[in-house]
Amino acid sequence: MERVALFPGSFDPFTLGHEDIVRRGLSLFDKIVVSVGHNSKKRRYIPIETMLGHIQQTFQGENRIEVITYDELTAELAKQYQANYLLRGLRNTTDFEYENSISQVNRYLNTQLETVFLITSPAYAHINSSIIREVHRYGGDVNAFLPYEL
């Protein structure tokens, strides 16, 4: 059976750290669906359709990667894509605390779902979407952290 993983996130914006997780994930999974979620907690900084285009451009020509947007439970989205895995990145213990809770909830909602964590490559461990948003909002150049230009 094909191993399909979702890589869900807000990706506001999608960074080199996220790209690294997806590319490394290709050695574990046959197909990865990068799933850009509408953020339920706050309004997005970068419109979702704009981010979809940037991520599609990043993975252009890579036929094992699909990029989509979604506005529903991740656990339900996984069923639609017959994905048995969620791929997530771990930078530090703060990520771990959050990821631990969310993976328990996702498995409660969809018992078929295993969350697989990849530890961030050291070169990207400091990259943080919320800091990038702040720098960009005030006119700073953030392109060194992104696989496309913003």
Burial 15-46 (b: 16+ CB within 10 A, else e): bebbbbbbeebeeebebbbbbbbeeeeeebbb
| Candidate segments 7-15, 27-35, 48-56, 75-83, binder of ligand ADP by CB under 6 A | 7-15
Size of the site for ligand ADP (CB under 6 A): 15
- Nearest Cα neighbor of 62 from 21, 86, 33, 104 is 33
Residue 81 as a binder of ligand ADP (CB under 6 A): the answer is no
The enclosing H or E element of 21 equals helix 16-25
Mind telling me the catalytic residues? Answer: 18, 42, 91, 129
Touching ligand ADP, residues 86-145 (CB under 6 A): 88-89, 91, 95, 120, 124, 127, 129
Touching ligand ADP, residues 31-70 (CB under 6 A): none
Asked if residue 13 has a cis previous peptide bond (ω within 30° of 0), the answer is yes
Residue number with CB closer to ligand ADP (1 or 34): 34
3-state secondary structure of 75: helix
Q: Among all residues, whose Cβ is closest to ligand ADP?
A: 17
Residue number with CB closer to ligand ADP (57 or 130): 130
